[in-house]
Amino acid sequence: MANTKVETPQAENFDCLVVGVGGQGVVLASRLIAAACMNEGAFVRTAETIGMSQRGGSVASHVRTGSCAEDVPSSLIPAHEADLVLAFEPAEAVRAYSQLKAGGRMVVAMQPVVPVMAANSGYDGEAQADWLKEHIAPENLAFVDPAVLVASGLSAKCLNVMLLGAAIKLGALPFTKEQLQQAMQKLMKPKLIEMNEKALELGIN
């Protein structure tokens, strides 16, 4: 079991990796984190996967903050330095494990997206979830069940906000629910806000 020292995330010293499968909404999640940190005065860099990998491939967005540009020399988080990994998919969560620092947090959506190369393998993400539970302390690990979204009549596209809600509940983000809501107001189309507010509540509760 890794080091379980719990740290309070700082808006001006925060490295977050958002991973998933192309098309799941990874970029918007990273933009929301970036916007919320910027509102608190942080200098922010992100790196996004855009292009061919978006076609159902593994994608990762890096979000790095500091008090000034020199604080954040590059946009890619080095190995074992992520304070938080936000994973939209269990196998992608395991793939990103080596990015997580000791004592870092991980929030995982149990929404297995079967890779085409493993379409006959019976992949369901359970083995991945079990491995993560073995290697990350329970207070640093949270799972989100996207089925709750659909059961509540919300679009599966709200998964990104639901994951952010779960991360806030875990104390893994350097901003509050209200600050996230401000970022949502800024970045989302008005007609999508109400649905995403509900998804946020589902993630937090």
Partner 1 sequence: MTSELAMQQAAEVATERRLLMGNEAIALAAIAAGVNVACGYPGTPSTEIVETIARNNPNHSIHVEWSCNEKAAFELAAGVSYSGGRVIVTCKQVGMNVASDPLMSLAYIGCKGGMVIVVADDPGPISSQTEQDSRQFAQFAHIPVFDPATPEEAWAMTQAAFELSEAHGCPVMLRPTTRVDHACASIEVPLDLASIPRHAIDGFIKHPDFVIFPALSRRAHERMTADLVQISKEFDVCRFNRLDEYVRDDYELYLGIACSGDSRGYVNEALTRLHERAREQGLELPSYRLFEVATPFPFPQKLGRDFLLGLADALVIEELEPVVERSLIQLTGPVAADAYRIDAPCVIHGRLDGTTPVAGEYSTDLLTPILAKFLGVTELVCTQPSCGADAQPAVPPQELIPPRPPVLCAGCPHRASFLAVKKAAGKRDIVYSGDIGCYTLGCNKPLNTTDTCLCMGAGVTIAQGLETAARLAGDSQTLHAGFVGDSTFFASAMTGLANAVYNHHRMCLCVLDNSTTAMTGSQPHPGTGVTLMDTKSKPIDIAAVCRALGCDPVLEVDPLDHAAAVAMAEEALASEGVSVIIFKSPCVQLFKPLVPVTVDAQACRGCGKCVRETGCPALSMASPHEGGARGIAQIDATLCNGCDLCINSCSFNALVSVRDGMPAAQRDAQRREAFRG
Sign, CA dihedral 48-51-56-57, equals negative
40 binds partner 1 (CB under 8 A): no
151 binds partner 1 (CB under 8 A): no
2/204 with CB nearer partner 1 = 2
147 binds partner 1 (CB under 8 A): no
137 binds partner 1 (CB under 8 A): no
117 binds partner 1 (CB under 8 A): yes
Query: How many whole angstroms separate alpha carbon 152 and alpha carbon 154?
Result: 6
18/169 with CB nearer partner 1 = 18
Q: Virtual CA dihedral for 22, 108, 32, 70, nearest 10 degrees?
A: -90
Q: How far is the CB of 72 from partner 1 (least distance, A)?
A: 8
Query: How many whole angstroms separate alpha carbon 29 and alpha carbon 136?
Result: 23
Query: How many whole angstroms separate alpha carbon 108 and alpha carbon 19?
Result: 10
Q: How far is the CB of 33 from partner 1 (least distance, A)?
A: 11
Q: Are residues 155 and 3 in contact, defined by beta-carbon separation less than 8 angstroms?
A: no
Q: How far is the CB of 150 from partner 1 (least distance, A)?
A: 9
Which of 12, 13, 25, 135 touches partner 1 by CB under 8 A? 135
Q: Are residues 88 and 56 in contact, defined by beta-carbon separation less than 8 angstroms?
A: no
CA distances to 118, 121, 161 from 86, rounded to whole Å, are: 23, 25, 11
Contact residues: partner 1, CB under 8 A: 2-3, 21-23, 31, 34-35, 38, 42-58, 69, 73-76, 78-81, 91-92, 94-95, 97-98, 101-103, 113-124, 127-128, 131, 135, 156
